[in-house]
Amino acid sequence: MGQKDGFLVYSRQLPKRRPVRERIHDHNELYCSLDEKVLKEQAARCMDCGVPFCHTGCPIGNLIPDWNDAVYHNDWEKAAFLLQKTNPLPEITGRICPALCEAACVNGINVEPVTICNIEKMIAERGFHNGYIKSSLPKHRTGKHVAVIGSGPAGLAAAHRLNQYGHWVIVFEKNHCIGGLLALGIPDFKLSKHVISRRVKLLKEEGIVFKCNVHIGKDRSVKDLLQEYQAVVLAIGSETPRDLQLPGRDLNGIHFALDYLQQQNILNSGGNVRDYIDAKNKNVVIIGGGDTGADCVGTAVRQGAKKVYQFEILPKPPAERTPAEPWPSYPRNLLRISSSHEEGGERRWAVTTKRFEGTQGKVTKIHAAQVEWKKHEGSFVMHEIAGSEFSLDVDLIILAMGFIHPVHEGLVKEAGLQLDTRGNINTTPDTYATSIDGVFAAGDARRGASLVVWAIAEGLHAADSVDNYLMK
């Protein structure tokens, strides 16, 4: 490495977020950029450790020490080259990835880890600005045609790699824009949509064809596609939300998080929506303590909510890694404070919702209670605390409790795809092949709801399998 004692000399430094009082009035991205001197210092913190555990943490195997060294030596072209060897969407993971690699960083054993994610983002941005990241046409064409259904991270990654292998690729997207949940589910303040359109422009230049507003399973069938294409990749995501079947669930004013976030993203892009879900001057309760719930907090604050609560059924996590999740594993049970939590809202832990109450068909109150989790026969069991029930006046409730499996109606049922015990598309573990010859699945539709970086990894692996299938 360029500076062998860098991890001893420099401390971890992240880019500053725009001031809260400023950013809550727009949907622009949160982070400012670090100057080149600070970036070089952050790259210098990479230890050149004998076994780079960051590789094991990263699902796509990014060459992290190598491009850290290139950044330290101010060789941004080499850094961009190395980054693109493993990651087809670094400008996206550099913004929204929870940085599994940083959790595995050797530095993190006793000090703070290297700022891998931010360095990745800056390499990508420098790469686009300086022309190091540009369209790259395949050297030859195989004459094979592949249809990719879904344009989220798994679909884009699969399309990119299949195209580089020389196959002709067409991507079908049921929505009006490319990007899947990247475009419609993640708020602009975390991922500006010009980042997606910039990447899609390159993919189009490389020969990939995109068709929006085509709902496979409704407009066309998978069987029809197999008559025209030699292989099909299903990257349809996991969009069946977890629901709360409680008294009062049918009241107006209770919505799923994806519907809420999607509407705001459409408006931000200049589109129109029907029955706009607006939090302005309202008391809002968001049920679900994860990242999606936090995204809803930030969106409600920007809409001008009067008061925002975020409920989580699990107890408040510890502030530091526990022995139960030792390095280099990713600590799932760890208190994380997102940018949205800095902007407003009240987080409540160990809360279970009991029922909803309303007037004239509109929700006006939520009834909940505190719970505790006790270990019983090796697992934790939830118990409601006697006398802990409470109620809140509420105008809007957002259900942000995650997703359970891909939508079965339409494509999955129409094609007769075999499912696993969780309702995901069943595939052979190594080949990503479904129960239908020539049809493959990748991403959340196969793995279950997970992270963007895992979806990218799935898309790349599925593309490898499709290539083997086509060329055998």
Which residue reads 């990479």 in tokens?
Answer: 46
Tell me, which fold does domain 243-401 have in CATH? Answer: FAD/NAD(P)-binding domain (3.50.50)
- Strand duo 346-348 + 307-311: pairing: parallel
- Strand duo 145-149 + 168-172: pairing: parallel
The domain spans of the chain are: 6-130, 145-239+404-471, 243-401
Domains 145-239+404-471 and 243-401 share a fold: yes
Outline where DSSP puts E strands in 235-389: 240-241, 254-256, 283-287, 307-311, 346-348, 351-359, 362-376, 379-384
Q: Are 384 and 301 in contact (CB under 8 A)?
A: no
Type and span of the H or E element at 172: strand 168-172
All residues at 6 or more sequence positions from 319 whose CB lies less than 8 Å from its CB, including other chains: 334, 335
- From residue 50, alpha-carbon distances to 56, 105, 188, 222 in Å are 13, 12, 39, 48
Which residue reads 């939830």 in tokens?
Answer: 382
Domain 145-239+404-471 in this protein, CATH class: alpha beta
Task: For 236, list phi and psi in degrees, rounded to 5.
Answer: -90, 0
All residues at 6 or more sequence positions from 133 whose CB lies less than 8 Å from its CB, including other chains: 80, 84, 124, 127, 202
3-state secondary structure of 208: coil
DSSP classification of residue 239: -
Is the CA virtual torsion 415, 420, 423, 428 positive or negative? Answer: negative
pLDDT score, position 33: 85
pLDDT score, position 49: 87
Query: Would you give the end-to-end CA distance of the chain in angstroms?
Result: 42
Scored b (16 or more CB within 10 A) or e, 126-161 reads: bbbeeebbeeeeeeeebebebbbbbbbbbbbbbbbb
Residues 461, 128: Cα–Cα separation, whole Å: 26
Residues 318, 295: Cα–Cα separation, whole Å: 22
In order, the DSSP letters of 336-376 are: ---HHHHHS-EEE-SEEEEEEEEETTEEEEEEEEEEEEEEE
> Can you give the pLDDT of all 472 residues of the chain as single tens digits?
678 899 999 999 999 999 999 999 999 999 988 889 999 999 999 988 888 999 989 999 999 999 999 999 999 999 999 999 999 999 999 999 999 999 999 999 989 999 999 999 999 999 999 999 999 999 999 999 999 999 999 999 999 999 999 999 999 999 999 999 999 999 999 999 999 999 999 999 999 999 999 999 999 999 999 999 999 999 999 999 999 999 999 999 999 999 999 999 999 999 999 999 999 999 999 999 999 999 999 999 999 999 999 999 999 999 999 999 999 999 999 999 999 999 999 999 999 999 999 999 999 999 999 999 998 888 899 999 999 999 999 999 999 999 999 999 999 999 999 999 999 999 998 999 999 999 999 999 999 999 999 999 999 999 999 999 999 8
Q: Are 157 and 113 in contact (CB under 8 A)?
A: no
Task: For 377, list phi and psi in degrees, rounded to 5.
Answer: 55, 45
Residues 88, 463: Cα–Cα separation, whole Å: 13
How far does CA 188 lie from the centroid of its chain?
A: 13
Domain 6-130 carries which CATH code?
1.10.1060.10
- Strand duo 231-234 + 145-149: pairing: parallel
DSSP classification of residue 398: E
Output the six-digit token pair for 401: 């409790």
Task: For 445, list phi and psi in degrees, rounded to 5.
Answer: -65, -30
DSSP classification of residue 302: H
